[in-house]
Amino acid sequence: MATKNKSTIKPLRLGAGWKYAPAPESAAAAHIQDQYELFIDGKWQKPKKGTYLESINPANEKKLYRAAVATEQDVDKAVAAARKAFDKYWKKMPAKERGKYIFRIARLMQEQARELTVMETLDGGKPIRESRDFDIPLACQHFFYYAGWADKLEYAFPNRAAKPLGVAAQITPWNFPLLMAAWKIAPALATGNTVVLKPAETTSLTTLKLASIIQEADLPPGVVNILTGAGETGASLVRHPAINKIAFTGSTAVGKLIQQETADTAKKLTLELGGKAANIVFSDAPIDQAVEGVVNGIFFNQGHVCCAGSRLYVQESIAAVFIQKIKDRMATLLVGDPMDKNTDIGAINSAAQLEKINQYIRLGKKEGALHYESDARLPQKGFFCRPTLFTKVAQSSRLAQEEIFGPVLAILTFRTEEEVIEKANNTPYGLSAGVWTDKGSRIFNLSRRLKAGVVWANAYNLFDPASPFGGYKESGYGREGGWHGLHPYITF
């Protein structure tokens, strides 16, 4: 059942009444090759079996490039190259020199930030504003941060000498392609490991560009190897007997498979998986600020965020006003061409993901929750989804339990603090949470009692290389970022 926007204030209808003048970024800033090979041992190498996958721009469904599919033999070659690089160069290199290489990567990325920005948006569909102001600068910052750790590890672990593990196998997701590659590669290199990384098959472009930046930085061959491909490639990489470490970011289901698969090995495993974060708004919260936070919490990057604030718990006494304000704010969100600097919500990453989101929307309606979406006009081509919310969602509803990974907000209400803590924790996930209130002691009570790795108080979706990120429970284990982010890559 659909509900109408019953705002008392005159709603802004940006899609219908008047328009922003288009402000498109030029695609010409990105030099995209027709075809990309595998980056192994410092060289671009053709895949053994000679197969390639097409990647399209999800905003217009046009072909963008072809990337090689690495098979078992290619994985073998890359792991051997990484092992050789570990023994021959990386392990022996003085730590401060290692650090300088990583600083070099950070600087070269900054220099080519505009190209990386355009590539990220063309390949993944996220708004250019987010690529430009969030993904790319933060990825550069991550390398810069960890570069500095390389020659300071003796101060990091009291009474212990940290040693690298060896070859790290890393698998990244499609929602923040370059940023996730930075989260993986930077700490691994800083601690003296070598890397074989597989990006997601729908969004490999910026990681391939990063490979050429690493080549340009003149890192010793084999220290970083990039293998493109889909799930099969990832599985061969995880199974490879000569790797020492696996760092995976992706779905909880695949994370569990990896734990099963590696149960009889000594591979050190860290997992950054799904989430169903509670964003909790108390009646004393700064309301307009909270509305912004909730909207950003769920609609940032089309909701393709593992820590998205996808469950809103709003205190009953302010629920009506608060939900109306969210609807009013949703009416102003521009959905469309990700390359346009005005765009708030870009393209859904793939047809398959759009279908998954739509399934959940159908399910929510069927379960009896009240469906509401903005009346944003969607482009004819490409994969798009209007910002959507559901009210009257039951705690047991799949909308409140499962990760949708799209711009769909489930709204629930609560009366007391005790009640909302219990409801917020009532999920197998535990990645993040948001708390909106004017009362400091309440913030610290909730922060302590919410089973989540990151708690944002009067804020949401903030990230920084100095700040550890990672989950409790089925959101995975291990932390990325900060001092704690060194642990997954060392042994004593």
Partner 1 sequence: MKKTTNRISVLKTYKLYIGGQFPRTESGRYYAALDAKGNKIANLCLASRKDCRDAIVSARNASGSWGMRAAYNRGQILYRIAEMLESRKEQFIAELVWQGLSRSAAQRETEGAIDRLIYYAGWCDKYQAIFSTVNPVASNHYNFSVCEPMGVVVLFAPESPLLGLISVLAPCIAGGNTAVVLAHQAKALAAVSLAEVLNSSDVPAGVVNILTGNNEELMPWLAEHKDVNAILYTEKEPSILTALRKKATGNLKRVIHWPIQRWLDASAQSPYRITDLQEIKTTWHPIQQIAGSGSSY
User: Whole-number minimum distance, CB 424 to partner 1, in Å?
Assistant: 14
Residue of the chain from 263, 366, 380, 441 that contacts partner 1 (CB under 8 A): 263
Which member of 25, 120, 140, 306 is catalytic? Answer: 306
User: Whole-number minimum distance, CB 267 to partner 1, in Å?
Assistant: 11
Residue of the chain from 24, 94, 379, 428 that contacts partner 1 (CB under 8 A): 428
> Is residue 109 part of the contact set for partner 1 (CB under 8 A)?
no
Opening angle at CA 305, ends 299 and 308, nearest 5:
60
461 backbone φψ class: left, alpha, beta (φ>0; ψ -120 to 50): left
Please give the sequence-ordered ranges of beta strands (E in DSSP) within 274-326, or none if there are none: 278-281, 311-315
CA distance 358 to 49: 36
Stretch that binds partner 1, among 64-72, 186-194, 262-270, 364-372 (CB under 8 A): 262-270
Opening angle at CA 315, ends 314 and 316, nearest 5:
110
Residues near partner 1 (CB under 8 A), total: 44
> Is residue 148 part of the contact set for partner 1 (CB under 8 A)?
no
Residues 265-294 that bind partner 1 (CB under 8 A): 271, 273
Residue of the chain from 164, 229, 476, 488 that contacts partner 1 (CB under 8 A): 476
* Three-state SS sequence of 102-162: HHHHHHHHHHCHHHHHHHHHHHHCCCHHHHHHHHHHHHHHHHHHHHCCCCCHHHCCCCCCC
Closer residue to partner 1 in complex, CB, 327/479: 479
Stretch that binds partner 1, among 16-24, 27-35, 176-184, 474-482 (CB under 8 A): 474-482
Tell how strand 268-272 and strand 245-249 pair up. parallel
Active site residue 385: no
User: Whole-number minimum distance, CB 234 to partner 1, in Å?
Assistant: 17
> Is residue 158 part of the contact set for partner 1 (CB under 8 A)?
yes
> Is residue 401 part of the contact set for partner 1 (CB under 8 A)?
no
User: Please, how many CA atoms are within 13 Å of residue 110, restricted to the half-sphere of its CB?
Assistant: 12
User: Whole-number minimum distance, CB 281 to partner 1, in Å?
Assistant: 16
Q: 101 by DSSP, 3-state: which?
A: helix
Strand partners, 436: 281
The length of the chain is: 492
CA distance 448 to 426: 16
- Burial level of 26, CB count in 10 A (0-12/13-18/19+)? exposed
> Is residue 198 part of the contact set for partner 1 (CB under 8 A)?
no
Stretch that binds partner 1, among 51-59, 146-154, 354-362, 450-458 (CB under 8 A): 450-458
> Is residue 124 part of the contact set for partner 1 (CB under 8 A)?
no
CA distance 327 to 179: 31
Residue of the chain from 80, 468, 486, 489 that contacts partner 1 (CB under 8 A): 468
Stretch that binds partner 1, among 87-95, 261-269, 331-339, 360-368 (CB under 8 A): 261-269
Per DSSP, 9 falls in state S
Stretch that binds partner 1, among 73-81, 208-216, 343-351, 446-454 (CB under 8 A): 446-454
Q: 336 by DSSP, 3-state: which?
A: coil
**In one letter, which amino acid is 437?**
T
Query: Is 367 in contact with 399 (CB distance < 8 Å)?
Result: yes
Residue of the chain from 473, 486, 489, 490 that contacts partner 1 (CB under 8 A): 473
User: Whole-number minimum distance, CB 209 to partner 1, in Å?
Assistant: 24
Task: From 194, 185, 177, select the one nearest 136 (Cα to Cα).
Answer: 177
Residue of the chain from 408, 456, 489, 490 that contacts partner 1 (CB under 8 A): 456
User: Whole-number minimum distance, CB 158 to partner 1, in Å?
Assistant: 6
H/E element holding 436?
Answer: strand 432-436
Longest dimension (CA), the chain: 70
Token pair in block for residue 436: 């909106």
Active site residue 154: no
Which x/- pattern, by CB under 8 A, does the window 217-256 give for partner 1? -----------------------------------x--xx
Residue of the chain from 474, 486, 489, 490 that contacts partner 1 (CB under 8 A): 474
> Is residue 297 part of the contact set for partner 1 (CB under 8 A)?
no
Q: Which residues bind partner 1 (CB under 8 A)?
A: 141, 158-160, 252, 255-256, 259-260, 262-264, 271, 273, 428, 443, 447-449, 452-459, 462, 464, 466-470, 472-474, 476-477, 479, 482-484, 492
The set of catalytic residues is: 272, 306
